[in-house]
Structures are given as structure tokens and as C-alpha cells.
Amino acid sequence: MLLPLSRIPELSPNRQAFPLIKEFLSRSELLQIKVHKQNGVTVIDCGVHVEGSWEAGILFASVCLGGLAQVKLQWMDFNGLRWPSVEVVTDHPVRACMASQYAGWPIKLGKGLTMGSGPACAIVHKGSLFRMLGYEDHSETAIICLEGRELPSDEVIQHILEECHCDPRNLYILVAPTASLVGSVQVAARALETALFKIRRLGYDLGKIISGWGVCPIPPVARDTRSGLGRTNDAIFYGSSVFCNLRDEDETLDHLVKQVPSCSTKGYGYAYMEAQATSNNFFNIDPDQFTPAEIWLCNLNSGRSFHAGSLRPDILRRSFELETNSCI
């Protein structure tokens, strides 16, 4: 079903995210990131050759969301596990999460493959998702976020320029490895996105979702990419909570909510590294694995709310390799 999003300049993800890019450029030392020009394009290293920071992680996630959401860090209690978390709140969930944050643009980065996300995806507007959304962002400025261990090559930059049809001076590329501080924050900030992704797979009309709120534990930085993929996936799958305001029939929401959380999937109960012990390809994961641990659906028509799922701190402790010593 088409979900045509109005082409309102004030809601353009590329235009809304640009002030955040200016923060990266003006505060690079404070954010512990590095900015350089490559073939006339601005490349922002958020963890490949630099340490990165908590605040850079917030900005990276905010850019991914097209500047259409509030992102902040806080301590949370995940059923007895107190741990740092990232919270995302938006009144434009489909535009922010699906038309911008959703990682649906496959790009070759060095010898591997990375998925591009962020506002530039709405300029390129390729794939089944954008056919459903019926949306294209008309912006001279293009901003793309890459999750990878290497900075983009000249060939990759040229490919992005051609796809975005923009001047090199107007292209901004952000890069952060999964196994980095910024990577941990920005992936954990995708809890709401994964909920919408799952709801869409269930055939539900995303146009009925009015606003969304997600919170997720930020996994500790892993020793390598594969472990990082495991921890970030587990953080969402076993630790995230999502709340959505909708307008629909109570019976429909009561049926839908039970199909969304991770406990409804086949792979439930195992940490990523346990379930994927024989596989090194993250992209071979069953798409149903991308879903939050628990979800609330609040019907603005009736005032009733529906809940399903639960948090699993026991699996998070295993995944995060947490060692706790009691005080005597």
C-alpha cells in the first residue's frame, strides 16, 4: 500500500539533518571525530581511525533519522540490569525511520559490503520500501551514513555522487564501525526502526502510526565486527522497548501486537553468537530477527493500549560478557 509522504521542505531529512552536520564540522575535536575532504566530498570519520564519543553517537543517530527525532542517552533498568541506554522519540516515525534511518542501500566498501542509511536514501529512493512510501526527497545536499571498518574509496564516493546526482561540495559521508562507541549508540538507536520494519513485514499499514518512542541498551564496544554485530542485534532483540501511538480498531491492534516482539520468532532464546556460531554473514539472518523485545501499541481512537513481549537481561548479560562482583 502506498504511503505518499508530503514533500514539505521543512520535513526534508537532508535539510533537517544538515545543522547536525555543521556540529560535526565545528566541534570535531570535542567529539573526537575527524573530518577530511576526499575528491571534494566531506568525509566524517566517527570511529575508523579515531575513538569517537557518546555525543558523536547521538549526533550520528540523529543524522540517520534525518533530524526528525529526539535522541538522548540515559541510564535505564532492564528488568534488574541497570545499563546505559539510548532513547529515540519522534512525531514523524515513518519519515524518520523508514525514509531515512532504514539501512536499505547496499554499497561496496573495500572488499566488503555495507548498508547505506540516512537522509541520502530518500534522494536515491530505490527499492520496495520507497515504492511503498511513494516518497523522494528533493535536496541539493545529500547526507549518507555508512556502517563499516574502512573509509570509502574514491570509487565508492563516485558511486554515491552519481546515485545522489549532487555536487561533491554538497555530499557528506559519515562512517562508523559496528565495533565502536558511535557504532554501538547508532545501532541501538534503531529499536523503533526495527519495530516499524517488522510491522511492515506483517502487512500492516504504517500510515496509521502517528508517533513512536524507542529505548534500547547500548552494548559495550566489542573486540571485532562479528561480535559487534552480535551485541547490537541482541541489544535490540532482547533489550529494546517500543511504544507507538496509532489510530485503528482495537481488535486489529490486539492481533498485531502479539506478532511483533522477538519472543514470537523462531530464533528466540539464543544470543546472536550462540545461534550464528557457524555463520559469518550477518546479512543471512532471517529478517524476522530484526524486531524489538517488547512493544506497546496505544490506540488513540479508543484509549486502549496493547502490550506483548518481555526483556531478557539474562541473555544481555551473556551477550555483553558482563562480570558482576558483589560488595561484601
Instruction: Kindly write down the DSSP assignment for every residue of 124-161, as one continuous string.
Output: H--SHHHHHHT-----S-EEEEEESSSPPPHHHHHHHH
For range 108-131, the mean pLDDT:
88
Mean pLDDT across the chain: 93
pLDDT at 109: 64
According to DSSP, the residues that pair with 309 across neighbouring strands are 294
Burial (CB < 10 A; 0-12, 13-18, 19+), residue 208, is buried
**75: β partners:** 84
Q: State the pLDDT at residue 276.
A: 67
Q: How large is the average pLDDT for residues 13-35?
A: 98
Rounded to an integer, the average pLDDT of 48-73 is 98
- Considering only CA atoms, which of 188, 167, 171 is closest in space to residue 85? 188
Which pLDDT value is given to residue 277? 58
pLDDT of residue 266: 86
> What is the pLDDT, as a whole number, of residue 282?
52
pLDDT tier at 115, thresholds 50, 70, 90: confident
pLDDT higher than 50, residue 76: yes
pLDDT for res 300: 98
pLDDT category at 183 given cuts 50, 70, 90 is very high
Residue 71: pLDDT band with limits 50, 70, 90: very high
Mean of the pLDDT values across residues 108-114?
Answer: 74
Dihedral sign of CA atoms 301, 298, 17, 7 in order: negative
With cut-offs at 50, 70 and 90, classify the pLDDT of residue 284: low
- B/e letters for 144-171, b = 16+ CB within 10 Å, e = fewer, are bbbbbbbbbeeebbeebbebbebeeebb
Q: Which residue has the cell 554538497?
A: 170
Distance set, CA 153 to CA 38, 103, 158 (Å): 9, 20, 9
Angle between helices 225-239 and 181-188 (to 10 degrees): 30
Burial class (CB within 10 angstroms; exposed 0-12, middle 13-18, buried 19+) of 38: middle
6: pLDDT strictly greater than 90: no
Q: Hey, what's the cell of 267? A: 530464533
Q: What is the mean pLDDT of residues 269-295?
A: 75
Question: Half-sphere exposure of 202 toward its Cβ, with a 13 Å CA cutoff?
Answer: 23
Sheet holding 209-217, edge to edge: 70-78, 81-90, 209-217, 241-246, 294-299, 305-309
d(CA 250, CA 269): 30
Residues whose CB falls within 8 Å of the CB of residue 273, separated by 6 or more in sequence, listed in order: 226, 227, 230, 319
Higher pLDDT, 57 or 4: 57
In this predicted structure, what is the pLDDT of residue 278? Answer: 44
Report the share of the chain in percent with pLDDT over 70: 95
Q: Where does the pLDDT of residue 285 fall: very low under 50, low under 70, confident under 90, or very high at 90 and above? A: low
What is the mean predicted confidence (pLDDT) over 108-123? 86
| Edge-to-edge order in the sheet of strand 171-176 | 34-38, 41-45, 171-176, 142-147, 112-117, 105-109
Looking at 37-46, 104-113, 122-131, which range is the least confident one?
104-113
Q: Quote the CA–CA distance of 272 and 307 in Å, as a whole number.
A: 25
Please check the confidence at residue 4 and state whether its pLDDT lies above 90. Answer: no
Is a pLDDT exceeding 90 seen at residue 108? no
Q: Which residue has the higher pLDDT, 3 or 137?
A: 137
Which whole number is the average pLDDT over 53-76? Answer: 98
**Residues near 8 by Cβ (< 8 Å), separated by ≥ 6?**
none
Please say if the pLDDT value at position 328 is more than 80: no
pLDDT band at residue 283 using 50, 70 and 90 as cut-offs? low
